[in-house]
Structure 1
Amino acid sequence: MASLNVGNLGEYLREQRRAAQLSLRQLAEAAGVSNPYLSQIERGLRKPSAEVLQQVAKALRISAETLYVRAGILDEREREELETRAVILADPSINERQKNVLLQIYDSFRRENGFVPEQDETDEAPRADETLKADARKDDNPHS
């Protein structure tokens, strides 16, 4: 993980707050933190917790993961992976089984490209191709 870069975070929060046309007091109230505490975060004097960052992100209507990266809590690659997973899981046009299969395929490609360690033999998660075959058998046999 990256080291904590509070100054960069504070500048970014200030920019986001101004872009949202919120005063420091308005953002503090919306995020449920004190006005002086938020001011200290913006000035790079305080290191907020992940929980506080999540509250601020929600109030600003931005990704909490983006703030985690700015604060050095989360690596950029981890953020991208989390956002990809969140988009898949939030898609109302596909069912839970399809979401799981899609995530398994995604993980398979990431492993193939060296971004995720290989699953060990004790891992019980089925491979995507095995899940697809099992689903096809279920579709062929409606009595199972």
Structure 2
Amino acid sequence: MASLNVGNLGEYLREQRRNAQLSLRQLADAAGVSNPYLSQIERGLRKPSAEVLQQVAKALRISAETLYVRAGILDAERDGQEHRKDGATRAAVLADPTLTEQQKQVLLQIYESFRKENGFVDGGDDDGAAGPQDQENEPGPQQTAG
């Protein structure tokens, strides 16, 4: 079987599950995935979707962004600091146990609409052309004389 390059993810998930003192079955139940599927993820045989990673992160009470990076969904180095901030914001919303899934999605939609309004394009594919560089030259409440 070809390597999916998710061994690092699987090892990390196993470590986090053990730190949380959860059995494989308990985590699978909490995340809403099958026990065999979770086992295959931990062994590096399956590459889970972002949705499954989000469910597992929520069950473990850890950052979904960390799992996205380990699974190769987010490339923290390539995407730069602004995308990491965006990812951290998204991860915080997604990991909040006090919000329903619908509330999380609405918050993320509002957040993304504000980013687009301010010239940031989702996905980090604009190479900053209409992003932070334009924003830094505009006077704003966060800038101080100095």
TM interval, shorter chain, is 0.5 to 0.7
Aligned-residue sequence identity (percent) comes to: 67
Aligned length: 107
Q: TM-score scaled by structure 2?
A: 0.59
Instruction: Please give the alpha-carbon distance, in whole angstroms, between the structure 2 residues aligned to 1:37 and 1:60.
Output: 16
Q: Which residue of 1 aligns with 2:56?
A: 56
Matched, 1:42 2:38: no
Contact 2:24 2:38 in 1 (8 A): yes
Report deviation, 1:117. Answer: 2.0
Contact 1:5 1:70 in 2 (8 A): no
Q: Which residue of 2 aligns with 1:6?
A: 6
Aligned ranges 1:94-113 → 2 under 5 Å: none
Contact 2:40 2:46 in 1 (8 A): yes
Cα-to-partner distance string for 1:35-61 (whole Å, 9 max, x where unaligned) = 011001001111111110110001001
Which letter maps to 1:117? G
Structure possessing the higher radius of gyration over alpha carbons? 1
Which letter maps to 1:69? V
Instruction: Please give the alpha-carbon distance, in whole angstroms, between the structure 1 residues aligned to 2:58 and 2:90.
Output: 15
Report deviation, 1:119. Answer: 1.6
Q: RMSD value over aligned CA atoms?
A: 3.8
5+ residue gaps, structure 1: 90-95, 108-114, 121-125, 134-144
Q: Which structure is higher in RCO with an 8 Å CA cutoff and minimum separation 6?
A: 1
Q: TM-score scaled by structure 1?
A: 0.59
Report deviation, 1:80. Answer: 2.1
5+ residue gaps, structure 2: 94-109, 121-125, 142-146
Given candidates 64, 68, 86, the residue that maps to 1:82 is: 86
Report deviation, 1:127. Answer: 4.8
Instruction: Please give the alpha-carbon distance, in whole angstroms, between the structure 2 residues aligned to 1:64 and 1:22.
Output: 18
